């Protein structure tokens, strides 16, 4: 007897007739068709309609097609399109081939923990690891773990650094823990990203123990201000300041720090990709002397969410810090994805990174990233010539920071820009002043988008001035 429950019968029927999936595909295509011209942020009506999702957990099973319609009718209008006029945070768009690859892999529904669970994702992780080593010019012994984003990559790097620095002093933190362990010094600078502070806290180092180093006016660490480094030091540097886009001086710092026995980690969430280009590679000169790196795919490379990488030159330290074993986990000589990441079960996110790199090639990566730099410079140039705006940073990569005459004016103009929904940019504090932060990180941003967006800034400024008079 092959009797099925009611819910089994319903789900088998949906798998067989495919209507549910056709409906989702059609809705998805409708969304894509409007993504480049729709409001850059949901309307008030769309946000109000999110109340449609507020209900008690249903008692009975539902209708799959009605559920997809509900998501489309009230969810799609409340989604934020990261298109060519979205400059808030550092959210990239999606390369079409990469998005299509992700959609295909979703139907595979692979657990990328081990080769035996998914040979295809295990193979692609090896391929992409090798491509990244080649692109960035890193030593061949570098390994890559594919994680959800730079926050997780930074944490993995902290764990690897903790393991190696303590192991060098005869202390196995994996077995002995931190109680009674030799002290590790954590040295970084005042402009480091908040995800680093989170990772430092989670790794057990304690934020209060950080030796903070002064930065220059661009947000770069001042090498001369560094304390004496030693073999107990974890030094954390930055490739791409989240506001100014500035890069720490790796050429001056990294090799000298490594020679002292320090572990050097570089947070390069969006900025490390400069090292994969011909015309911006000078920004990362000397970074090959670091031990570990964190980088996102879903930012500058424009893969879909979520996609991050931990790159580490010390494979033993990374695996020893992150790997666990159990009797049911097959042990062999293969590279296993879960050995290099905090997660065991994880989705096959490498598929879309492979597709993006396969599609772009080296020349495409260079062209796409340099174009973002050019568009950021264009935005800065227009605003610098507009009375009422002051550009505060040298545009070395893809970030622009601007302000108005007063903090109040800056805040009001930013809010008006967001309200107009022609483009979107967020706020920050830079050197104690309120600023508007512009991040150009979409493959889709054209020179016309920049003109259109800059005009929205001008309109917002005029409206705010009018309201204040």
- How many domains in the chain? 3
In a domain? residue 140: yes
User: What's the pLDDT tens digit per position in 164-218?
Assistant: 999 999 999 999 999 999 999 999 999 999 999 999 999 999 999 999 999 999 9
- Asked whether residue 312 falls in the same domain as residue 413, the answer is no
* Tokens at 156, concatenated: 């993995």
Residue 2 predicted with pLDDT over 80: no
Q: Are residues 375 and 451 in the same domain?
A: yes
Of 81, 114, 139, the residue at which a domain comes to its end is 81
Per-residue pLDDT tens for 421-437?
999 999 999 999 999 99
- Looking at residue 331, what is its pLDDT? 56
Q: Which of 21, 51, 81 is the last residue of a domain?
A: 81
Question: Are the CB atoms for 146 and 308 separated by under 8 Å?
Answer: yes
Same domain (yes/no): 332, 441:
no
pLDDT at 328: 47
Shared domain check, 328 and 195: yes
- pLDDT at 329 (0 to 100): 54
pLDDT for 323 equals 84
On whether both 137 and 56 belong to a single domain, the answer is: no
Does residue 404 share a domain with residue 264? no
Output the six-digit token pair for 319.
């695996």
Q: Per residue in 36-80, pLDDT tens?
A: 888 899 999 999 999 999 999 999 999 999 999 999 999 999 999
Cα angle for residues 421, 269, 323 (degrees, 5° grid): 130
194 and 147 co-located in one domain:
yes
Both 349 and 370 in one domain: the answer is: no
**pLDDT tens string 326-380:** 544 555 678 999 999 999 999 999 999 999 999 999 999 999 999 999 999 999 9
Q: What is the CATH number of the domain that holds 112?
A: 3.40.640.10
Last residue of a domain, one of 327, 356, 385: 356
**Do 310 and 384 belong to one domain?**
no
Q: Supply the pLDDT for residue 3.
A: 84
**Pairwise CA distance, residues 116 & 112, whole Å:** 9
pLDDT of residue 469: 81
- 11 and 69 within one domain: yes
pTM here?
Answer: 0.95
Question: What CATH number is attached to the domain comprising 437?
Answer: 3.90.1150.10
Going from the C-alpha of 293 to that of each of 131, 235, 265, 357, 386, the distances in angstroms are 15, 12, 6, 19, 39
Q: Which domain holds residue 59?
A: 6-81
Considering the domain architecture, whether residues 327 and 384 belong to the same structural domain is answered as no
Q: How confident is the prediction for the chain on average, in pLDDT?
A: 95
Residue 86 placed within a domain: no
State the average pLDDT over residues 307-319. Answer: 96
Which of the four pLDDT bands, split at 50, 70 and 90, describes residue 258?
very high
């Amino acid at each position: 007897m092959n009797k099925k429950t009611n819910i089994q019968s319903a789900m088998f029927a949906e798998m067989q007739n495919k209507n549910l999936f056709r409906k989702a595909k059609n809705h998805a295509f409708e969304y894509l068709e409007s993504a480049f011209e729709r409001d850059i942020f949901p309307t008030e009506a769309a946000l109000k309609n999110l109340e449609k999702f507020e209900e008690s957990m249903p008692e009975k099973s539902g209708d799959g097609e009605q559920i997809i319609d509900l998501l489309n009718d009230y969810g799609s209008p409340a989604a934020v399109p990261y298109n060519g006029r979205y400059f808030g945070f550092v959210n990239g768009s999606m390369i079409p081939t990469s998005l299509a690859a992700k959609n295909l892999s979703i139907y595979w529904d692979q657990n990328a923990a081990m080769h035996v669970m998914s040979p295809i994702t295990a193979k692609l992780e090896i391929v992409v690891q090798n491509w990244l080593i080649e692109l960035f010019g890193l030593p061949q012994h570098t390994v890559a773990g594919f994680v959800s984003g730079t926050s997780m990559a930074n944490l993995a790097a902290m764990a690897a650094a903790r393991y190696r620095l303590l192991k060098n002093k005869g202390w196995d933190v994996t077995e002995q823990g931190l109680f009674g362990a030799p002290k590790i010094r954590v040295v970084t600078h005042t402009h480091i990203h908040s995800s680093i502070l989170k990772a430092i806290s989670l790794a057990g180092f304690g934020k209060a123990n950080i030796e903070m180093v002064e930065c220059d006016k661009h947000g770069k660490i001042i090498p001369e201000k560094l304390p004496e480094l030693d073999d107990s030091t974890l030094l954390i540097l930055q490739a791409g300041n989240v506001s100014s886009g500035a890069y720490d001086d790796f050429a001056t710092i990294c090799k000298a720090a490594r020679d002292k026995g320090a572990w050097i980690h570089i947070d390069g969430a969006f900025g490390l990709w400069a090292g994969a280009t011909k015309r911006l590679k000078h920004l990362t000169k000397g970074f090959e002397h670091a031990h570990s790196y964190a980088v996102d795919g879903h930012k500058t490379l424009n893969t879909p969410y979520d996609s991050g990488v931990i790159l580490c030159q010390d494979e033993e330290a990374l695996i020893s810090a992150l790997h666990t074993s159990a009797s049911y986990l097959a042990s062999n000589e293969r590279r296993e994805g879960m050995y290099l990441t905090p997660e065991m079960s994880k989705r096959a996110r490498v598929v879309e990174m492979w597709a993006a790199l396969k599609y772009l090639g080296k020349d495409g990566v260079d062209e796409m990233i340099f174009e973002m730099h050019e568009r950021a410079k264009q935005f800065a140039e227009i605003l610098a010539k507009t009375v009422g705006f002051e550009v505060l940073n040298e545009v070395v990569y893809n970030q622009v920071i601007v302000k108005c005459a007063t903090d109040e004016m800056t805040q009001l103009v930013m809010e008006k820009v967001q309200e107009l929904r022609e483009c979107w940019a967020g706020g920050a504090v830079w050197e104690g002043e309120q600023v508007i932060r512009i991040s150009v990180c979409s493959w889709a941003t054209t020179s016309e988008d920049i003109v259109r967006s800059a005009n929205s800034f001008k309109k917002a400024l005029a409206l705010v001035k009018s309201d204040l008079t």
